[in-house]
């Protein structure tokens, strides 16, 4: 890949394969603690968990496109800055925000009028997709060798449009990830844990929120 990059022989297909290689490996390892915890805490149904996983990946694709476009326009400087301290700060903020979102929603559920039968906490609304999108967009800033190769290629192109094309191809490749399967499984696990145990619902939400907040603080301190 690096030899082809130096020779200027890298096409969109190669960049897509580079994204696939990352999506099947590093992306899963890096992202699953965040999205798996989110789906587990919400005890998402299969449809909702899959939808949130798609929204998460859409955030990543968008950020890769923007990063590569910025590298094509302004060189590696801006993209490297975003991938350093600023990247960790944004990832930490998104993770803490997702944890607080879970706490806020569970508190609102708890303040709602009680139903005749005790029901597990449920979350609804399109706005609930905002934290997964933010997590996807910010986690795309995690430094790694494939991302560095993408940005170097985009910077070498010297064109915003070409850089954006490379970033889009890379992001679509990275979207080929087991996250699409593992996140719904985490949501199903949350549902199984809550089944017949209404008392566990609130504890599971709070524990998941705490994990997301701690992951965010860890990023902020990195």
User: pLDDT band for position 151 (50/70/90)?
Assistant: confident
Radius of gyration of the chain (CA): 19
| Mean local confidence (pLDDT), 169-174 | 95
Work out the number of other CB atoms within 10 angstroms of the CB of residue 121.
20
Tokens linked to 114: 């009680």
Q: How confident is the model at residue 200 (pLDDT cuts 50, 70, 90)?
A: confident
Contact (CB, 8 A) for 44 and 208: no
pLDDT given for residue 6 in this prediction: 45
Dihedral sign computed on CA atoms, order 193, 198, 202, 205: positive
Report pTM: 0.84
- Rounded-to-integer distance, Cα 198 and Cα 168, Å: 44
Q: Which whole number is the average pLDDT over 133-151? A: 89
Per-residue pLDDT tens digits for 80-135 = 666 667 888 999 999 999 999 999 877 665 544 444 443 444 555 677 889 999 99
Q: Answer whether residue 185 shows pLDDT above 80.
A: yes
Per-residue pLDDT at 175? 94
Report the sign of the C-alpha dihedral through residues 71, 170, 137, 22, in that order: negative
CA distances (Å), 158 to each of 131, 143, 164, in order? 33, 21, 11
- Domain positions in the chain are 19-107+122-221
- Reference 157, options 169, 145, 172; nearest CA is 169
């Amino acid at each position: 890949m690096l030899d082809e990059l130096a020779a200027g022989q890298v096409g969109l297909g190669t960049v897509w394969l580079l994204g696939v290689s990352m999506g099947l490996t590093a992306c899963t390892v890096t992202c699953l603690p965040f999205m798996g915890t989110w789906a587990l805490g919400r005890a998402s149904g299969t449809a909702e968990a899959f939808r949130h996983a798609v929204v998460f990946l859409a955030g990543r694709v968008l950020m890769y496109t923007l990063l590569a476009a910025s590298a094509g326009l302004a060189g590696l400087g801006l993209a490297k800055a975003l991938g350093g301290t600023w990247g960790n700060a944004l990832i930490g903020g998104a993770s803490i925000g997702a944890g607080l979102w879970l706490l806020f929603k569970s508190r609102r559920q708890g303040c709602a009028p009680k139903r005749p039968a005790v029901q597990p906490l449920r979350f609804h609304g399109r706005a609930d997709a905002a934290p997964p999108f933010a997590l996807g967009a910010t986690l795309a800033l995690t430094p790694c060798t494939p991302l560095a190769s993408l940005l170097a290629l985009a910077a070498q192109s010297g064109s915003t449009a070409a850089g954006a094309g490379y970033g889009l191809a890379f992001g679509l490749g990275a979207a080929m990830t087991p996250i699409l399967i593992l996140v719904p499984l985490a949501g199903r696990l949350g549902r199984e844990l809550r089944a017949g145990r209404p008392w566990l619902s609130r504890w599971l939400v709070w524990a998941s929120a705490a994990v997301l907040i701690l992951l965010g603080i860890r990023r902020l301190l990195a």
